[in-house]
């Protein structure tokens, strides 16, 4: 499968938060590329935990990058070696404390900056910011920007149920220091799992709060799949954990031999494949019994979080993908939603226009027929709410701002839980 720029009018589809066996994922880099290819992605950014590579796995960055490059060649899917960087932080004003996770979408040119020799130290712990702070979020952001890599705040919206990002005086267990959100070039959105259902409205309010001053560069967005697991079927999971499962079952059999009986003991000892086939039909009980096996449904849901970057007629290369992200030329989808086009292309450089015309093409939104809404925001404020009652799955929308004020403005298009654009900056004459 090769990238076809005409398929989505110059937009490339990617997974850009993916963990492998180099840190806490269950797939090899090769398997990760195969998964991305099988699900119709044009590119994959592998973002393994860099502290795990050094402190837990004892692996080198060189072999990590080679694994990504080899997977690219063998699968035909562009695989970019990135990384996830964790910084511990505390906010004395609110009492919040957690880890700030920043994604680096390419570490290829950063190798010399990481400390891979000091025992017990995170490989980026010695980085300093322009205020003299050591190992800070700002230090990470400034280091990445120095190498042309946009700092991306990863799952920064995950917080306690009683917290609220729009009331910072309240205590909340944020995954990111909100005072640093504005200096992150990309913001994670559509985070996997229950967090979406519980917090999407206030997550979106926090995102809009970053867009209320369009004269400054507005943060772009990316969709976090945060994928950790390679196999996608129960049989694959069972066979991947074959030795552990068989050993655990043998322990149970020995303990309950008189109850279970000799036949099952013999089956486990001499015919483990048959035993695994039998236990495959008891999947939910196995998941409860062997807690190290990840849930298949959650892994599949993570694969539905897509980031699209605009390349136009340019080739699909690592440099072009990073540049598109840096420029804010992106949008994201979740669930069964599919994206085909958005005009004008989002950008953090204002485009001069005499009037504002927006065009959005979503071939599929929900997997079932139901009404949808398209919300359009200007400078963080809702200017139109378009209900799409048609039972068809697609949304094709052409919208014109009836009265855009003169000056620079930021437009965002949003279909709740399904689509979100990076800001489209325009300068209205």
Give the CATH number, domain containing residue 205.
3.20.20.140
Q: Say if 424 falls within a structural domain.
A: yes
Tell me: do 143 and 267 sit in the same domain. Answer: no
**Structural domains of the chain, count:** 3
Q: Is the pLDDT of residue 91 over 90?
A: no
Helical spans, DSSP H, in 283-361:
283-289, 296-302, 318-326
For the ranges 133-142, 188-197, 213-222, 234-243, the one whose mean pLDDT is highest: 133-142
Tell me: do 178 and 255 sit in the same domain. Answer: no
What sign has the CA pseudo-torsion 29, 137, 421, 316? Answer: negative
Q: Which pLDDT band, with edges at 50, 70 and 90, does 158 fall under?
A: very low
Q: Which pLDDT band, with edges at 50, 70 and 90, does 283 fall under?
A: low
R_g of the chain, CA atoms, integer Å: 23
222 vs 178, higher pLDDT: 222
Tell me: do 319 and 389 sit in the same domain. Answer: no
Tell me: do 289 and 304 sit in the same domain. Answer: no
Tell me: do 133 and 164 sit in the same domain. Answer: yes
Tell me: do 35 and 87 sit in the same domain. Answer: yes
Tell me: do 82 and 142 sit in the same domain. Answer: yes
Q: Say if 140 falls within a structural domain.
A: yes
User: pTM of the entire structure?
Assistant: 0.83
Tell me: do 270 and 133 sit in the same domain. Answer: no
352 with 407: CB under 8 angstroms? Answer: no
Tokens of 281: 């039909």
Tell me: do 160 and 37 sit in the same domain. Answer: yes
Work out the burial of residue 173: count CB atoms within 10 Å of its CB; fewer than 13 is exposed, 13-18 middle, 19 or more buried. middle
* Domain extent at residue 285: 242-293
Q: Say if 87 falls within a structural domain.
A: yes
Q: Across the chain, what does the average pLDDT equal?
A: 83
Q: Is the pLDDT of residue 245 over 90?
A: no
Tell me: do 262 and 115 sit in the same domain. Answer: no
Tell me: do 131 and 28 sit in the same domain. Answer: yes
Q: Which pLDDT band, with edges at 50, 70 and 90, does 385 fall under?
A: very high
Tell me: do 66 and 214 sit in the same domain. Answer: yes
């Amino acid at each position: 499968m090769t990238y076809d720029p005409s398929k989505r009018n110059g937009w490339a589809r990617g997974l850009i938060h993916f963990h492998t066996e180099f840190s806490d994922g269950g797939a090899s880099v090769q398997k990760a590329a195969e998964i991305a290819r099988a699900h119709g992605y044009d590119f994959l950014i592998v973002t393994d935990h860099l502290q795990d590579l050094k402190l837990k796995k004892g692996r080198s960055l060189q072999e990590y990058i080679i694994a990504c490059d080899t997977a690219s060649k063998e699968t035909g899917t562009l695989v970019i070696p990135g990384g996830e960087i964790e910084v511990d932080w505390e906010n004395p004003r609110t009492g919040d404390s957690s880890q700030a996770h920043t994604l680096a979408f390419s570490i290829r040119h950063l190798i010399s900056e990481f400390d891979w020799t000091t025992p017990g130290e995170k490989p980026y712990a010695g980085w300093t910011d322009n205020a003299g702070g050591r190992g800070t979020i700002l230090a990470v952001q400034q280091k990445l920007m120095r190498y042309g890599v946009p700092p991306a705040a990863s799952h920064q919206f995950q917080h306690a149920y009683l917290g609220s990002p729009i009331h910072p005086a309240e205590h909340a267990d944020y995954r990111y220091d909100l005072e640093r959100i504005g200096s992150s070039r990309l913001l994670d959105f559509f985070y996997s799992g229950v967090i979406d259902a519980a917090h999407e409205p206030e997550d979106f309010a926090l995102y809009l709060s970053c867009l209320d001053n369009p004269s400054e560069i507005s943060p772009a967005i990316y969709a976090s799949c945060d994928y950790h697991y390679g196999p996608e079927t129960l049989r694959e999971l069972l066979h991947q954990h074959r030795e552990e499962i068989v050993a655990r079952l043998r322990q149970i059999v020995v303990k309950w031999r008189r109850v279970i009986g000799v036949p099952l003991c013999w089956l486990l000892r001499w015919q483990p494949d048959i035993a695994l086939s039998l236990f495959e039909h008891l999947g939910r009980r196995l998941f409860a019994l062997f807690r190290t096996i990840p849930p298949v449904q959650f892994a599949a849901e993570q694969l539905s979080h897509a980031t699209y970057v605009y390349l136009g007629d340019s080739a699909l290369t690592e440099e072009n993908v990073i540049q598109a992200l840096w420029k804010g030329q992106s949008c994201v989808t979740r669930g069964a939603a599919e994206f085909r086009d958005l005009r004008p292309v989002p950008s953090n450089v204002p485009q001069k226009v005499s009037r504002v015309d927006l065009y959005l093409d979503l071939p599929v939104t929900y997997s079932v027929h139901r009404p949808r809404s398209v919300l359009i925001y200007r400078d963080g404020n809702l200017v139109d709410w378009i209900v799409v009652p048609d039972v068809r799955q697609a949304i094709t929308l052409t919208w014109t701002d009836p009265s855009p004020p003169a000056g620079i403005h930021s437009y965002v298009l949003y279909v709740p839980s399904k689509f979100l654009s990076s800001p489209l900056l325009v300068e209205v004459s």
